[in-house]
Amino acid sequence: MKALGPLTRDKQDTLLLVAAALLVVAPHFGHLPWWITGTVCVTLLWRVLLTLRGRRLPPIWLLLPIALIAMGGVFQSYGTLLGRDPGVAMLALLLAFKLLEMHAKRDLYVVLFLGFFLMLTNFFYSQSMLTGLAMAATLVVLLTVQITFQYTGTVPSLGRRLRLAGKMFVLATPLAAALFVLFPRFDGPLWGMPGDAQGPRSGLSDTMAPGTMTNLALSEEVAMRVRFDGAPPAQDRLYWRGVVLSHYDGRTWSRIGGRLYRRAGDAMTLRVDGKPLPYEVTLEPSQRRWLFTLELTPPALDVRGERVGVSDELESFTVRPIHQRVRYRAAAFADYAVQAGLDPALTGKWLQLPAGFNPRTRELGRQLRAEPGTTDMRIMARVLGHFRTQRFTYTLQPPLLGRDSIDEFLWVSRQGFCEHYAGAFVFLMRAAGIPARVVTGYQGGELNPVDGYMTVRQSDAHAWAEVWLAGHGWLRIDPTAAVAPERVRLGIGGALPREAPFGLSAFQNNKDSWLARLRFHVNAANNAWNQWVLDYNPERQRNFLAELSGLAGDWRVLAALPALLALGWLWRRLRARRRRDPVQTAWERFGVLLARRGIVRTPDEGPHSLARRVAALALPEEKKAAMAEFLELYAALRYRALDDDERHRSARRLAKLLSLSR
Amino acid sequence: MLEAFWRRVFRFERRKARDGEVVLTLRRVYILPARAGLAFTVLLLLMLVGATNYTLGLGFALTFLAASCAMADMLLTVKNLAGLRLAGGRAAPVFAGDAAQFEIHLHNAGNADRYAIRVGFGTDAAAEHAADVPARGSAAVALALPARERGWLRAPRIHLETRFPLGLFRAWSWWQPDLRVLVYPHPETPAQPLPMRGAASEEGHGEVGLDNFAGIRSYQPGDPLRHLAWRQIARLAPEDGGQLVTKHFEGGAVAELALDFALLPQHLDVEVRLARMTRWVLDAEQRALPYSFRLGGHTYAAGLGDAHRAACLQALALYGREEVP
């Protein structure tokens, strides 16, 4: 600030404005094309130099071509001028150029209002808590700038202006919170959401090839958060069903049919038993249509604002891709049977195998089937036993496989991830004539003890198998569990202990380390942020208001409100009294006291004159002495120069004397 | 009752107005959005639409925060003006054709500084003055008004306006101060010579000497320093055209200067005669020649000095409009 000291007020104000503009655009630098970032920075720097040197702003005939060229550049970069990203880019450029074209006070408002809007566009890219904090800080700075330009005479220091802006912010917060909660919200977009509304995200895809799952396993991104109404089930029961893959082309597993129709399958029969386990899922936007349900949830999902469908394979999906967080409630059953009475003729499509791939595996399947007296159950048990005993390993870094990937995996590498085990298992089952399919989804989840939410991350992505047995229907078989039971029992973190970064034990994935606890708290805060700030939708608003009105009916709340008001009023009164000069208060009380004894002070009468009249009163001596001392002390306090300490002591003595004079 | 409650809550008022003063209570302060405020409303709507369309939770938060800041601005803008105590200050007499200066005092009994309060007559925005009033302090502004006619000039209504702190709202109030300025007639130009009537002195024609003080004249090189008329020199600062003047002594004749309205040619317009009298009063004062004065019912014996001058000029200013307002 020292360097700004000798600058004129005009220059200081302008530099502050440029700083605020930089603060507003800086978060956009991460996603703007490099040349726009550069142009904005150069323009701002230009403005700073012009200001420091006291030069005039460039003329319009120089600015206009530059602005037009920049617009052309935006078109070049994005291929369009419409839409979200080019819009943001143009706003950023406009803000920078407008700083070079400021002549009237009106232009200042244009710059500031552009700044406000640019702040809003930043939320397209990030809505984290940190972004929220940055927004609050930026808002205070923008307010400071706006205030700064309003002064006509003396201008307080930057600190005081910041404090005034902060005060406005604090004043605004309760009203803003009330508006946030009560302002009617509308469903969905007002116009068609542009395709680029959300960037690509990692997530479970509709196909599975080697590497699909391993890529996900490295992502700590949250896939969904789940809250169970009761106690959550054990880890090894947490199978979140997603996509069912049946078609194998030798390398990639994919869905049969491809397209999703909104219908409940004709051939689907479902029998559930036992107590339902209700839960609520908050699914992060995936840009795909899949909804994940705990196995096994009967297909009756209700997702607000979305039309939901279910396929014959018990996949739940939405009609539109999921661009925003969605929330749905469901109930799962532990005991179930799916399509137990399926006509074996209909199971043919679950036996499909590509010709000319993995001959050894096919041969093995045939051998298993050819064994005399074998049953489907026995074949399955033998294969799983094979996985268990033949030194198969579960790893995130499996070797690359060639054309006959399953052959290679089963006989050469024997290292794989869930996708390898599930794929190989299903292939082998089909080779042995057992209808089988791959199910992908998530397995496990981390329960946050702070808020009771279970977090399912992309790293929990998992693939398992389903085989159909006559009379039993589709059975879930997890071949990975045969190799690495801890994957299912403890979750991905337990199966693949990561090396402690920096060799610090605190960073280890240990539930009791302080870092883990901190992480739980951060996660809970993030979740609360998502649930209450980002996803405060009409549904949540309705529920919250219903809860609130229920609360208002409570007599305790009704009683507390007036009590709070009364407390606030009392506090104000007390504060007002404290602010009054105690000496003056004592003097006025003394006047009342004298009046009761028949001495009425004339307006021009001072303490010394009063002292003479008091001396003439017929009163006990000690009382008269106290009164005389009071008057003397009052005169001293009023008219003599005393230091603070002395003043304080005298004022207290004055109060004492007042009560003695009574 | 309710109003008193709010007054207490917001502490707009701390002190009762004295006579001729006024406290701008809440009722007297009007507020409307300024043009920037209207633009801000449009901005808020745009932000709301954007937040709704893209379902930006934080976008809603920012929009509502910005809207609430505007509400806070409205409150602070009113508070910046309300509770201000206004009082009139000095109002020095002027000559017609000059600008009358009305001094206005703004007292702030509150705990918050008040900034950027524009004070003017509401007719000409350019002639407005901006004032800052510190907490528990006061500020003064002098508003100029052209004085065209002689006589009393009452201060017109005063317009107070502020847009502080954010400029989104315009709060304003009007105040009719109990202020007036006495406007003297415009002194006649070019000046007529003073009506000196030389009366023979008792000694008859004396020599030019140092006996008889005969006014002052401009300093000429060679004049003795002890003849410098310090009192007159001191009265006018050099930048106001002041210069060194020397006392001028004449022997022989004692000049008697009598300014009598009745002796002026009757065919002249009254205003012209008044203007001439005014000029003579000024000239006589400048040359420090004692003068007697007669105008209508006002008769003043020969004299000199500020009080004498003021009495004469006031008589001239109010001639024919004696009604005291």
CA–CA separation, B294 vs B299, rounded Å? 4
Question: What does the DSSP assignment read for A313-376?
Answer: T--EEESS---S-EEEEEEE-SEEEESTT--GGGGGGGG---TTS-HHHHHHHHHHHHSTT--H
**Residue B11: predicted pLDDT:** 46
Strand partners, A222: A457
Asked if residues A438 and A465 have their Cβ atoms less than 8 Å apart, the reply is: yes
- CA R_g for chain A: 38
> In 3D, which of B42, B12, B33, B190 has the Cα closest to residue B109?
B12
Assess contact for A490 and A511: CB atoms under 8 A: no
Kindly determine whether residue A153 and residue B131, on different chains, have CB atoms separated by under 8 Å.
Answer: yes
Bridge pairing between strands B253-260 and B291-295 = parallel
Kindly state whether A650 is in contact with chain B, defined as any CB-CB distance less than 8 angstroms: no
Least confident of A171-180, A493-502, B145-154, B203-212: B203-212
Pairwise CA distance, residues B102 & A286, whole Å: 72
CB-CB under 8 Å, A146 with B61: no
**Cβ pair A473, A238 in contact under 8 A:** no
- pLDDT of residue B138 exceeding 60, the answer is yes
Q: Which pLDDT score, from 0 to 100, does residue A495 have?
A: 64
Output the pLDDT for position A249. 86
| A151 has a chain B CB within 8 A of its CB | yes
Q: Tell me if A279 sits within 8 A of A228, measured CB to CB.
A: yes
Say if residue A103 is exposed, middle or buried (CB neighbours under 10 Å; 0-12, 13-18, 19+): exposed
Catalytic, out of A85, A376, A418, A420: A418
Cα separation, B44 vs A120, whole angstroms: 11
| Residue A290 φ then ψ, to 5° | -80, 140
* pLDDT band, residue B207 (cuts 50/70/90): very low
pLDDT of residue A525: 85
Chain B contacts in chain A segment 64-93 (CB below 8 A):
84
Low-confidence ranges of chain A (pLDDT < 50): 1-5, 194-200, 499-508
Bridge partners (DSSP) listed for residue B253: B200
Burial of A26 (0-12, 13-18, 19+ CB in 10 A): middle
The pLDDT of residue A188 is: 61
Minimal C-alpha gap between B167 and chain A (Å): 7
Residue type, B132: D
Q: Where are the domains of chain A?
A: 9-182, 207-499, 540-578, 582-661
Packed helices A158-182 and B57-81: angle between N→C axes, nearest 10 degrees: 120
Would you call A478 a catalytic residue per the annotation? yes
Look up the pTM and report it.
0.68
Contacts (Cβ under 8 Å, ≥6 apart) of B198: B253, B254, B255
Among residues A462, A512, A645, A648, the one annotated as catalytic is: A462
Contact residues, chain A, for B57 at CB < 8 Å: 127, 533-536
pLDDT digits (tens, 9 = 90+) for B53-76: 888 889 999 999 999 999 999 999
Are A173 and B73 an interchain contact pair (Cβ–Cβ within 8 Å)? no
Considering the segment(s) B16-183 as one domain, its CATH architecture is Sandwich (2.60)
Domain coordinates in residue numbering, chain B: 16-183, 213-249, 257-318
Residues 286-305 of B with CB under 8 A from A: none
Bridge partner residues of A439 (DSSP): A244, A464
Only one residue has tokens 């009046």, namely A595
Helix (H, G, I), strand (E, B) or coil at A215: helix
Query: Quick one: pLDDT at residue B210?
Result: 46
Q: Which pLDDT score, from 0 to 100, does residue B325 have?
A: 47
pLDDT confidence bin for B3, thresholds 50/70/90: low
Which residues 65-94 of B have a C-beta within 8 angstroms of A?
65-69, 71-73, 75-76
For residue B215, is pLDDT > 80? no
CA dist A136 and A118 (Å) reads: 14
pLDDT at A89: 93
Residue numbers in A near B140 (CB within 8 A)? none
- Give me the phi and psi of A371, to 5 degrees please: -60, 135
For chains A and B, count residue pairs whose Cβ atoms are closer than 8 Å: 147
> Annotated catalytic, A462?
yes
Three-state secondary structure call for residue B204: coil
Beta strands in B195-283, from DSSP E residues, in sequence order:
196-200, 212-218, 245-250, 253-260
The closest CB to that of A147, out of B43, B58, B166, belongs to B166
Tokens of A403: 């054309």
Is the minimum CB–CB distance between A179 and chain B shorter than 8 Å?
Answer: yes
pLDDT of B206 strictly over 80: no
What Rg, from alpha-carbon coordinates, does chain B have?
30
Q: How far apart are CA A301 and CA A309, in angstroms?
A: 8
